[in-house]
A = this chain, B = another copy of it.
């Protein structure tokens, strides 16, 4: 039942008509600043502005027609909810999204804009799970977890597959890690495509459950983490922990300042908008806690969804 390179390749074929084949960019200023040759995989240009569309799309289009007809469901207020809503709309089936009442209006609008049917709940995990169960019981919809799902993981791995097609000589590849879906898919795709490639997870110091879990040899969830990388607040599941433990070389933590500085540098020099979670992956190079000097390093820029009125460097 483990996710394989074959699953990822089939996911790539499955999502091809729907997902963006995102470009890879390079930037000389960034190379000079970090002392490595960096290859940026621009998932900020992906549908809904984040890699999440890959996994959601693969999950939705993996369903049989009967399954799909009953719709899909999830509890999420972030990029996964938007991604699932869009993928469901592309397949012409309903997406039921459970969101806390206090989710930002902009996120509610985004999900509704992609045709998602929102059920509001109290902003607690038990309330979310109860509301989700209710929706699934009532509709028969397939629950698509944001990361603890093999089809989602296989979909997320397609970004690394494309990056390795564009830059086959990579010595290392870095992806941010929150719940671990992207890093899991990336690590399987990379390790099975290119022998000896180093796979590195970038994680906020302030939400370092993956770092601590790998050290401890068991899942140690974060307790109310606080970081500007708000896409990385979730903790590993047993499934993603197990994949990461066997395929990822190391997790490197990045300070809040490092995240903000790397983000700003990429905006200013590479002229692309990346969200703080994506900047965590750049931050691994930026802070140089590990030596990647002179290497060819792929970086998965996970997304570009930020509130332009709330930038970490704005003067107020």
Q: Which A positions have Cβ atoms within 8 angstroms of B?
A: 23, 25, 28, 42, 44-45, 47, 49, 264, 267-274, 304, 308-309, 311, 313-316
Known: A25-B23, A309-B313. A304 touches B271 (CB 8 A): yes
Contact A45 B315 (CB under 8 A): no
Q: Are B308 and A308 in contact (CB under 8 A)?
A: no
Provide 18 A-B residue pairs closer than 8 Å at the C-beta atoms, listed in order of the A residue: A28-B47, A42-B271, A44-B271, A45-B270, A45-B271, A264-B308, A267-B273, A268-B308, A271-B273, A271-B274, A308-B311, A308-B313, A309-B313, A309-B314, A309-B315, A311-B314, A314-B314, A316-B316
A274 to B44, CA, bound (A): 15
Q: Hey, which chain B residues are within 8 Å of A314, CB to CB?
A: 309, 311, 314
Nearest CB to that of A274 among chain B residues? B271
Looking across the interface, which residue of chain B has its beta carbon closest to that of A28? B47
**Shortest beta-carbon distance, A79 to chain B, in Å?**
13
Give the docked Cα–Cα distance between A256 and B25 (Å): 31
Contacts of A44 in B (CB 8 A): 271
Q: Is the CB of B267 within 8 A of A308?
A: yes
CA distance A255 to B45 in the complex (A): 28
Q: Which residue of B is nearest A24, CB measured?
A: B23
Q: How far is the CA of A252 from the CA of B25 in the complex (A)?
A: 32
Of the residues B271, B309, B315, contact of A49 by C-beta under 8 Å: B271
Bound form: Cα–Cα A311–B268 in Å: 13
